[in-house]
Structure formats: structure tokens, C-alpha cells
Amino acid sequence: MASRGLHHVTAIAGPAQRNLNFYTHVLGLRLVKKTVNFDDPGTYHFYFGNESGAPGTILTFFPWEHVAPGRLGIGETQETVFRVPEGAIGWWLQRFVEKGIAHGTPEKRFGETVLPFRDPDGLRLALAGIAGVENEPAGNTGLPADVAIRGFHSVSLLLAEAAPTGAILTDVLGYAEIAREGSLVRYRAGDTAVGGILDIREAGGFLPARMGGGSVHHVAFRAAGDADQAAMVRRLADNHRLAVTEQRDRNYFRSVYFREPGGVLFEIATDDPGFAVDEPAESLGTALKLPAFLEGHRSRIEKVLPALA
Ligand code: ZN
């Protein structure tokens, strides 16, 4: 079966430099691509991930210097969770205290230890301690290998009800429901280890979300390639009467978008061609990369973008 689960998560941030510093210096992720929002080229688009920017490890941001803060509510992604070695939670708790990072206390969910925290814009994040993860390569993160992040664990969606979205997850996106705990319903994409889990928190009656700084903009799911993506699009149309956008070329993957029944913007993105398509794997993220259709406007774009240290 083709690889399933999360491809990337895209969120909205405030000042670009602050965003960059947090994800690289505090969390030890790699900036694997520095480009612009193809639909708004005066804004950066940062991609953070593991060493190669593999699907299932990529958190991306549109940083707007003066963005208004969002408000979490129904029809939105509630939390984005990374995998760390089981024994690393205490180390991270200490790090968050030392660096003044807003965080909660470790809690148990589905038997796993989870440490919730926030990024500088208030984006809800967490670390899940997973047994055996310390044996997976960590790459060059600047952090000790036995604590470093190993891609996504999951996202949770805050929805009025789980069933309509669950039907899309299970019939189209390769997930199966595997557990329930309180108001949480857990889905898993086959045996995908990195980014294979998605939780729905049912919270009927909660206020609707207002998107802004610290909000997740959309969640992208993996397709192996164009044929696999097209088959998923057909199932959405035939079985769920859901139409997607036309395919958009995002340079590093090709994407279609649709609004799932719970209100969250979903994307289906191809695994190919990946981030090494326009710069060497060793130097990912060091130069500002533009798609061909914007290359002619490079000097103007570089003038508008905030300077980065
Ligand atoms: Zn996306």
C-alpha cells in the first residue's frame, strides 16, 4: 500500500525571524526550504522538517509581521504533536523552563506521555514520548540524538462531531479508527510510524474558530504520486460528493485542496519530487528559492521580504 498519513502541516505565524529562531534553535528542526507563499509572494513560506524534509516531518509557516492572533475553535486543528524518545520528555520540560517557553505538564493520552507547549505565536504543539524512537536516525539537529524530534506523531482536530470527518479519513485517506478515550477518537494510517496518527476531539457547542497568528491553516495528507492522488480525488467525488481544487504545482509536491465536512482545510500532496529538486540536499533552506513563474520578479520580492539574520 502507498504511504499514508500526514504529509505536512501549515500554520500562520507572526514575525519571520522569531518563527525561524524558535523552530531551528529551540526545537532543532531543519529549515529545509526558504521560499515565498506562491499565492502571496510578498510573504515567506518556511518549511521545517527533518534532515531531508521527508513527508510526515514537515511543519510550514506563512509568517506575517503584523498578523492578528487567531482563536481556537470548532472546525480547526487543535494541536500538532511531534515524536520524541520516551525518555526525553523530562529533558524537554527542563529546556522549556530554561528558555521560558509556554508549556503544560506531562499528561497521559492513550498510554503515551505527552508534553503540551506553545510556539511564540501561541500555536498549540506537543511532544509525545514514544518507545524505540531513539533508535531512528535524528540527523544533524544541534541537539543530543537521544532527545531530538523524529517527525510528526499526530494532529488533533477540534470538531463538533467525529463521524463525518472520520468517514473521509477511513474511506479516502487510508486511516482506520483504532481507539477512543474521553472525547478523543484516534485514527491511524496503516502501519505508518511517522505522522500516522490523527485524533478528533469532539466538542459540540464550542465557538467556531477564527484563523490568525498561531492557527493551523491546513493539514496535508500523503499521496504516492499523481495516480494515487487522482484515485483519492475520485473516491471523494464518488462516495462523498466532495470536489477538490484543480491540482496546483507547489514545486516540491503537487496538491489538491478541499474543505472536509468538519470545516478543516485538507490537502492531498504527492511525495514526489521533494525538497532537493531545486537545491542540493546538503544546503537545503540556505538560499531563497522561487518557482519559475516568480523568478522574473526576484529583485522586487527580495526587497519586500523582511531581512533575516
Ligand atoms: Zn500545504
Q: Ligand 1: distance of its center to the CA of 94 in Å?
A: 32
**Quick one: which of 265, 30, 95, 42 has its CA closest to 165?**
265
Q: Ligand 1: distance of its center to the CA of 105 in Å?
A: 31
Q: Which grid cell is 31?
A: 529549515
Q: Which grid cell is 291?
A: 518557482
| 5 contacts 195 by C-beta, under 8 angstroms | yes
Q: Crossing angle, helix 226-240 and helix 163-171, to 10 degrees?
A: 140
Strand 216-223 to strand 6-13: parallel, antiparallel, or no bridges (unpaired)?
antiparallel
Please enumerate in sequence order all residues whose Cβ is within 8 A of that of 261, keeping only pairs 6 or more positions apart, or say none. Answer: 164, 165, 167, 168, 240, 242
Residue 211 has what pLDDT? 96
- Rounded CA-CA distance 291/268 in Å is 20
- Rounded CA-CA distance 139/68 in Å is 35
Residue 1 has what pLDDT? 55
Q: Which grid cell is 89?
A: 520528555
- Rounded CA-CA distance 115/80 in Å is 11
Q: Which grid cell is 115?
A: 508534553
My answer on whether omega of the bond before 41 falls inside 30° of 0, hence cis, is no
CB atoms within 10 A of CB 100: 7
| 275 contacts 53 by C-beta, under 8 angstroms | yes
Predicted TM-score (pTM) of the model is 0.97
Q: Ligand 1: distance of its center to the CA of 8 in Å?
A: 6
Strands (E), the chain: 6-13, 30-37, 40-49, 58-63, 76-85, 107-109, 112-118, 124-130, 152-159, 175-181, 184-189, 197-202, 216-223, 248-249, 254-259, 265-270
Please enumerate in sequence order all residues whose Cβ is within 8 A of that of 63, keeping only pairs 6 or more positions apart, or say none. Answer: 13, 14, 15, 16, 19, 43, 44, 46, 306
- Rounded CA-CA distance 269/253 in Å is 6
Residue 108 has what pLDDT? 97
Q: Ligand 1: distance of its center to the CA of 282 in Å?
A: 24
Q: Ligand 1: distance of its center to the CA of 54 in Å?
A: 14
Q: Ligand 1: distance of its center to the CA of 254 in Å?
A: 10
Q: Ligand 1: distance of its center to the CA of 217 in Å?
A: 8
Residue 272 has what pLDDT? 96
Q: Which grid cell is 163?
A: 463521524
Q: Ligand 1: distance of its center to the CA of 91 in Å?
A: 31
Q: Ligand 1: distance of its center to the CA of 192 in Å?
A: 20
Structural domains of the chain, ranges and CATH numbers in brackets: 6-304 (3.10.180.10)
Q: pLDDT digit of tens for each residue in the chain (309 aa)?
A: 578 999 999 999 999 999 999 999 999 999 999 999 999 999 999 999 999 999 999 999 999 999 999 999 999 999 999 999 999 999 999 999 999 999 999 999 999 999 999 999 999 999 999 999 999 999 989 999 999 999 999 999 999 999 999 999 999 999 999 999 999 999 999 999 999 999 999 998 889 999 999 999 999 999 999 999 999 999 999 999 999 999 999 999 999 999 999 999 999 999 999 999 999 999 999 999 999 999 999 999 999 999 998
> Coil, strand or helix: which one is 25?
helix
Q: Ligand 1: distance of its center to the CA of 203 in Å?
A: 26
- Rounded CA-CA distance 285/103 in Å is 28
- Rounded CA-CA distance 75/235 in Å is 22
Sign of the CA dihedral with 210 first, then 215, 217, and 223 last: negative
Residue 140 has what pLDDT? 87
What are the residues whose beta carbon lies below 5 Å from ligand 1 (ion)? 10, 220, 267
Q: Ligand 1: distance of its center to the CA of 309 in Å?
A: 26
What is the total residue count of the chain?
Answer: 309
At residue 184, what are phi and psi to the nearest 5 degrees? -100, 135
